[in-house]
Structure 1
Amino acid sequence: MPLRSLIARLPYPTAGVQQAVGIASVVAMGGIGVTGSVVRVTGSGLGCPTWPQCVPGSLVPVHDPGIDVARQWIEFSNRMLTGAVIVVAALAVLTAWRILIDHPSRKRLLVLAWTMPGGVVLQAVLGGITVLAKLEWWTVAIHFLASTPLIWLAVLLLKAFREGDEPARPLVPALGRKVLVVLTVLMWAVLIAGTTVTGAGPHSGDIHTHRLDAPIEKLAQAHSGLLIVYLVVLAVFGLQLMRVGAAKGVWQRYAWVWGVALAQGVLGTVQYALGVPEAMVSFHVLGSALVIVVTANLWTGTRDRGPVVSRTPAPPVEQELTSAS
């Protein structure tokens, strides 16, 4: 029996289920970086020194006098969490595919859903390369940065469950859209700069890992400077919203970006002043994920794709015509 026929037998996902799958996707993709930071700050990056096995000859941790047991299990648990993320990604695809069967116009929704498992597989491969490269700082940076587009795409997927598939109608002027593009580029520039600070910082994931040979003070200044530029551009975007009298929903999304970005800036400043304590590193990584979420949320809130048509199953007649075609 074709896979499409099997999926068609599944119950049609309710609006609540669609939203739950979308939210779970955002949480799962955002959580990848946070759990990875826990591995790094606890020095557990090589608790499983090989990949895809944990140790040569075993997929699971085994006693090794040269490896701390706790660090073995921290790293192994992080790998196992990838399984949970894959389950969420698979649910996103199944949900979107089941919707497409009843509503053939929802192809964009399925494309966005497929980026979830595709991205997770890419992340797993990059994680393996990072381990095999003994946690070289630039491989850790690439591994983290690869997760950031997944968070953005998960937010787009969540929005897609709630909207239609008409051509996007901008809700801000053309200049405002250009400013928003610049804001998005700056967001990733801030993230990239942050990985260089991490690369030169004290938390490498393993005491024998090579670090970025650059003055961390200068790198931190560049990182914070880019955040300030991001905030300036965000203020300019606010002027564009005032110019067109943006809707309340857009202003709410805009306010969330300010709140999260400022909180992230304060957290980073305090973290640096206190000597980069371990727990604050993971909170800072969580903050970076939240900055992506709120920026993507603002992005999706500045255009309209029409009303959602897939909250409920298609009428029986429509389903029969679709099957016949």
Structure 2
Amino acid sequence: MARPAFLDRIPPTSPTVMRRLAILTVIGQAGIAVTGSVVRVTGSGLGCPTWPQCFPDSLVPTPHPEVAALTQWIEFSNRLLTFVLVVATGLAFLAAVNTRPRRRRLTWLALAQPLGVVAQAVIGGFVVLAGLVWWSVAIHFMVSMFFVWMAVQLVDAAGDGDGPATRVVPGAVRGLIATSSVVLVALLAAGTFVTASGPHAGDAKTPRLGLGVQATAQLHSDILFAYLGLVVGIGFALAATGASRRMWRRYTALVVLVIAQGALGGIQYALGVPEVLVSFHVLGAGLVTIGAAFLWSGTTERTHPTDAVAPTADLVGTGRA
């Protein structure tokens, strides 16, 4: 990707600034999913019944006999956050373009973030126009988690070089982590089924998935136990292969997040799915996705050109071997 000429007059982006902007994109991508859940549990999904306008004749909330002002502003505020996220991800992209030497992988990962926000805005518009039908909301959430995952890859890319990927764990361990990531996708999807069957539709008139909360929650918990089994297996595999401290830190963080999220889900079900716990559970889903993404990205490293001849002892000393 060609470097814009005006950037030649700007000091190159430091690795610290690039990493901070990348972390900001992770927070933003996960955060907007949480605010979306607030829209749903407050019944504000159709507070602005059209898109991109709030009402056919107004871009912003306006007095309406059938839609409460608070409901309008909750939905409208969530839409405004999209523009904030566009700015944040756009800055991350410009910072990536301004790194020297230019790093292709970093640039493309950074570009994916603002494009993803725009794509999510379009999907969100479809969700509204479709009347919040459950499967459209599920797609909206799953795409959001995908871009959370990609934002984590951007964070790691901010510190990596642009050289070839080098495995830091055996292929079998990497394959086990990949398998757990696929099961995590199924776990997140099953969670959307529970939501689709439950009482929090985003609007009182929105039809629910007819499978029932009990059946979908059972499916969700079954997949959770499968995922937990894989996570435990990853721990044994890391111990058997002498994994680095870096991998152990990421693995430990994921274990803590998964256990906390599982406990929260059980409490949420036992209490009848109260509104506030729904949003916390969505936050937990985002955090587990972040933890799993960091574990996956930790299985490889990409060196800088100057690191290509670095002795192994140097790598061991940094805890990255």
Q: Under TM normalisation by the shorter chain, which class is it?
A: over 0.9
What amino acid is the match of 2:93? Answer: V
What amino acid is the match of 1:98? Answer: N
Supply the distance in 2 between the matched residues of 1:124 and 1:10 (Cα, whole angstroms): 31
Match of 1:279 in 2: 276
CA contact (8 A) 1:172 1:240 kept: no
Match of 1:74 in 2: 74
Match of 2:158 in 1: 161
Pairing 1:40-51 to 2, within 5 Å after superposition:
40-51=40-51
Match of 2:312 in 1: none
Secondary structure of the residue aligned to 2:150 is helix
Q: CA deviation at 1:9?
A: 2.0
Match of 1:315 in 2: none
1:110-149 per-position Cα deviation (integer Å, ceiling 9, x unaligned): 0000100111111000000000011011111111111111
Supply the distance in 1 between the matched residues of 2:77 and 2:7 (Cα, whole angstroms): 31
Pairing 1:1-325 to 2, within 5 Å after superposition:
4-99=4-99, 102-104=100-102, 106-307=103-304
Q: CA deviation at 1:307?
A: 4.4
CA contact (8 A) 1:264 1:284 kept: yes
Unaligned runs of 5+ in 1: 311-325
Supply the distance in 2 between the matched residues of 1:62 and 1:215 (Cα, whole angstroms): 36
Supply the distance in 1 between the matched residues of 2:192 and 2:282 (Cα, whole angstroms): 10
Secondary structure of the residue aligned to 1:184 is helix
Q: CA deviation at 1:308?
A: 8.3
Unaligned runs of 5+ in 2: 308-321
Seq. identity, %: 47
Secondary structure of the residue aligned to 2:4 is helix
Q: CA deviation at 1:283?
A: 0.4
What amino acid is the match of 2:8? Answer: A
What amino acid is the match of 2:124? Answer: G
1:73-130 per-position Cα deviation (integer Å, ceiling 9, x unaligned): 000000000011000110111000011xx313x1111000010011111100000000
Query: Considering only aligned residues, what root-mean-square deviation do their CA atoms show, in Å?
Result: 1.5
Secondary structure of the residue aligned to 1:304 is strand
Supply the distance in 1 between the matched residues of 2:299 and 2:234 (Cα, whole angstroms): 11
Match of 1:314 in 2: none
Q: CA deviation at 1:239?
A: 1.6
Summarize the Cα distance change of 1:309–1:282 in structure 2 as closer, same or farther, 3 Å threshold. Answer: farther
Secondary structure of the residue aligned to 2:201 is coil
Supply the distance in 2 between the matched residues of 1:133 and 1:46 (Cα, whole angstroms): 10
Structure 1 residue ranges, 4+ long, deviating more than 6 angstroms after superposition: none
Q: CA deviation at 1:7?
A: 2.2
What amino acid is the match of 2:15? Answer: A
What amino acid is the match of 1:275? Answer: G
What amino acid is the match of 2:52? Answer: P
TM-score (norm 1): 0.92
Q: CA deviation at 1:269?
A: 0.4
CA contact (8 A) 1:148 1:289 kept: yes
User: Between Structure 1 and Structure 2, how many residues are aligned?
Assistant: 306
